[in-house]
Structure 1
């Protein structure tokens, strides 16, 4: 079996759906088949029912029909090639400036895929129409020239729409917004469907005290990234067999062969199908966004970091604000507890504990390191953190305040303008008020002013 076929068979159904939606070839195939269908309809009308012989509204002889179709074959090829070549050149430059993942995100956009599919449909129709018309079968045509002209106008309208769509999509605010929406759609919906119905804060205490010596460890058979975990199937199997399964690695982590993947505890009289359990953890050669929250965060973070190097503060600000919105969505939808229980409250699945701190630091800490001497970007980070402090639940306020202090203490340059300094302390004060850390702010402000205003530091 070809490697592509083996790879598809090794994927979960959700991963296959994600991969097919992210590739343009599938929708192009659908539109190509639609083009064949339209050719068949035109063939029946003109070369079986001979409507061209009887039509009075649009009757075209063989020679003119052939000229129309042959001219438009070259036209649709040129239109298709020019459009795709121009867009790919622009996107390649954008990928180098921002992130290589941007090209994949653009290709996965449904509007892009439909536009490319329509070009292919028109090309298939015109090309096969050129080979099908025959003066020995019919002298006059109506369906072929009519449909050819109509579809060519449709292709021209699609061309205008596609250029307009590409220009709008590549504007920085739309770019970061689309990436954030894609992450929310692929990640948060998946997590809500798979995990939230079973999460609990406090499972039965005796089940939490597991004897490590009694657990059975299952190891990775191949090296790669953990792309997808079929939580629902694992949970149902654990419930059926009375197992407790603990995942040792999180989605998106890279594992080497023979590294522990999970540990399970069973009843003495229970037969466990270990191959079935291992088959529900899918390891592949690259990270995907199907379930990996951090991968979606990293895309926006990468845009921000590259924009710092390109001296593009507006793009940095947009990426930071979209990151804060994504973090808010994660905190609202996902309860950060590792325990999944059945309806009776029995512990069935333990996943890696993920806290709001983890995603907060994963989003902004790397950016703050690159911005440690840039007061504008540092203020943008603090502004985003203050927005989070005002929107997220009180349970996350301590994490937000601790992170704000880390960003403030990591800033290393003196303020060249009083406005930036005022903005800096205003954001910190606002965060301290929202998180109820008034005394902490007073001490932090004194510490920072002594350090940043020290002449030897400047």
Structure 2
């Protein structure tokens, strides 16, 4: 069931289909009212809500053609925005716009209005000529709603295509993943290394059933299943990792030959998903920064803003602990072990491409140092030393003696800010 829900969430057809179905139901209700119950409710309806069959057909025909035109224009606008996202920002950011609720609602409302008008016209029989109908009035109200939403849609497109708005949405996505990681670690043990209880006699490899990226792992479902069968699941892969078919996902430690199918708890797809993958959410912002500093675009200010948002996001990871999470069942028996987060790994993978391609731009290097300072202010002493050591990687290869005096002054100032004041606490 969860796999089906995940596929539905990824589909861009879901919202338009829901609005189209609702419009179809509205058309059926309106036609039924005009056909069977109009004589009973006519005395209670205002005169302005009822029209002749000829006028209703004319109005609905105009609405249908207009909404079809609006739908075509909306689809063309979406394609233009997708092209801009792909060429100017990053191909990985396309799904953020495609799955945007406002975009999908716009397409759904316009398609629904067209369906309502066509269905209403289809069932307007000549036998209704002697009666008044309410379909045209409902259609006019629907058209007004569509027109208002069309104006809002144009405003939404104009703001969505702005780089600041895109980075804001990517930041929100990354912060949600951090909250998700923090929620998983809550009330669970986190250790630097994996330790397997010696009481388990048998070990079995569990292979991947297909090739692709691990998009989501249902940890709670696995813990409940492991508790029922008295086994321990030891993951060697994590969310965001790429696996090929038959590659080992995890080991099952048990007292007996456990051969249950656990594939429904592991979601593997052809592309990564940012909802549960922090590294991928950060990668989108990194690619925006890389495009901005490329010679073809040459927009270092956008790159600097993106880098500072990376620092803001990573500063929030102080809530997440490094190491192996041991998840327990209700009886506090260990049932699942997985490495969810590594500060060293996420720090390096976030900045290494920007360092490589932006080394020649002092403004980019200073922006990286600013983002490291933001991280340094929030993390514990151990991570402060990691951040300070990482700055050496950032400035490695830079010819300090060839730098301008002002550049060197501000760079040294930021390096001094990063220097830890306290030694590493062994308890951290």
The two structures have a TM-score, normalised by structure 2, of 0.87
Matched, 1:47 2:38: no
Q: For residue 289 of structure 2, what is the aligned residue in structure 1?
A: 304
Matched, 1:377 2:364: yes
2:240 is aligned, of 245, 252, 277, to: 252
Matched, 1:224 2:215: no
Q: In 2, distance between residues paired with 1:202 and 1:372?
A: 34
Q: In 1, distance between residues paired with 2:422 and 2:123?
A: 74
- Report deviation, 1:379: 0.7
Structure 1 segment 213-362 matched on structure 2, within 5 A: 215-267=203-255, 270-272=256-258, 274-309=259-294, 310-332=297-319, 334-342=320-328, 346-352=333-339, 354-362=341-349
Partner deviation per Cα, 1:22-54 (whole Å, 9 max, x = no partner): 433111111112112221232233222336976
The answer to whether the 8 Å contact 1:248/1:351 transfers is: yes
Q: In 1, distance between residues paired with 2:72 and 2:215?
A: 35
Q: For residue 162 of structure 2, what is the aligned residue in structure 1?
A: 171
- Report deviation, 1:173: 1.1
Q: For residue 200 of structure 1, what is the aligned residue in structure 2?
A: 190
Q: For residue 181 of structure 2, what is the aligned residue in structure 1?
A: 191
Alpha-carbon distance change, 92 to 341 in structure 1, aligned in 2, over 3 angstroms? closer
- Report deviation, 1:85: 0.3
Matched position secondary structure for 2:234: strand
Partner deviation per Cα, 1:31-81 (whole Å, 9 max, x = no partner): 112112221232233222336976533442222221111112111111111
- Report deviation, 1:210: 5.7
- Report deviation, 1:311: 0.8
- Report deviation, 1:178: 0.3
The answer to whether the 8 Å contact 1:53/1:140 transfers is: no
Alpha-carbon distance change, 289 to 178 in structure 1, aligned in 2, over 3 angstroms? same
Alpha-carbon distance change, 65 to 216 in structure 1, aligned in 2, over 3 angstroms? closer
Q: In 1, distance between residues paired with 2:79 and 2:64?
A: 23
The answer to whether the 8 Å contact 1:339/1:347 transfers is: no
Q: For residue 149 of structure 2, what is the aligned residue in structure 1?
A: 158
Q: In 2, distance between residues paired with 1:284 and 1:90?
A: 25
1:130 is aligned, of 121, 124, 131, to: 121
Q: In 2, distance between residues paired with 1:252 and 1:356?
A: 16
The answer to whether the 8 Å contact 2:64/2:113 transfers is: no
**Mind listing any 5+ residue stretches in structure 2 that lack a counterpart?**
none
The two structures have a TM-score, normalised by structure 1, of 0.82
**Mind listing any 5+ residue stretches in structure 1 that lack a counterpart?**
1-11, 438-458
Q: For residue 400 of structure 1, what is the aligned residue in structure 2?
A: 387
Q: In 2, distance between residues paired with 1:87 and 1:353?
A: 36
Q: For residue 451 of structure 1, what is the aligned residue in structure 2?
A: none
Q: For residue 408 of structure 2, what is the aligned residue in structure 1?
A: 421
RMSD of the TM alignment (CA)? 2.9
- Report deviation, 1:357: 1.1
- Report deviation, 1:350: 2.2
The answer to whether the 8 Å contact 2:175/2:313 transfers is: yes
Alpha-carbon distance change, 361 to 27 in structure 1, aligned in 2, over 3 angstroms? same
Alpha-carbon distance change, 209 to 128 in structure 1, aligned in 2, over 3 angstroms? closer
Aligned length: 418
Structure 1 segment 13-28 matched on structure 2, within 5 A: 13=2, 15-28=3-16
Moved more, 221-230 or 389-398: 221-230
Alpha-carbon distance change, 285 to 57 in structure 1, aligned in 2, over 3 angstroms? closer
- Report deviation, 1:121: 1.7
The answer to whether the 8 Å contact 2:388/2:420 transfers is: no
Alpha-carbon distance change, 418 to 77 in structure 1, aligned in 2, over 3 angstroms? farther
Partner deviation per Cα, 1:314-341 (whole Å, 9 max, x = no partner): 2212221222222233332x22220314
